[in-house]
Amino acid sequence: MQAFLANDPAMLARLWSDDFVVTNPFNQFLNKQQVLALVTSGTLAFSAYTRHIESMHAYGDVVVVAGSETVVWAGSIPLAGQTSQLRYTAVWSRHGNEWQEVARHASFIQPTRVAGPSSTP
């Protein structure tokens, strides 16, 4: 979160494994270099970012983290200035003495729709 808020692609590059992949909320499957290019170009940025971890489980040298995030988009992305609620799952792996994120999936949380009474007879 701090690396994104500071627009620090070098820190993000250290946090992500070389084979990092993400399915982002825009339904794009991107690798590490593609995401770093979006950050470096100023397309992908955040002015606020909070994360709520709902589940974290270790499987040896792998940890799966899941929860929700609230982001305020910045940069040149079309959603700049807007707030979004996201659901995410992240997979982290220990590489020596360091942890690196190897995979991430994030999706928009859609507002809950309440079904009204049926109008059919």
Give one DSSP letter per residue of 8-44, joined into a string: -HHHHHHHEEEEEEEE-TTS-EEEHHHHHHHHHTTSS
Give me the pLDDT at residue 4, please.
87
Q: Are the CB atoms for 93 and 19 separated by under 8 Å?
A: no
What three-state secondary structure class fits 113? coil
Across 20-32, average pLDDT = 97
The candidate with the shortest Cα–Cα distance to 7, out of 52, 55, 61, 44, is: 44
Reported for 15-21, long-range contacts at CB under 8 A and 24+ positions apart, including other chains, are: 15/100, 15/101, 16/100, 16/101, 16/102, 17/93, 17/95, 17/100, 17/101, 17/102, 19/102, 20/100, 20/101, 20/102, 20/103, 20/104, 21/102, 21/103, 21/104
Q: Is the pLDDT of residue 70 over 80?
A: yes
**CATH node for 2-108:** 3.10.450.50
pTM of the predicted model as reported, rounded to 2 decimal places: 0.86
The full set of domain ranges for the chain reads 2-108
pLDDT at 116: 58
Q: pLDDT tens, 95-118?
A: 889 999 999 999 999 876 666 565
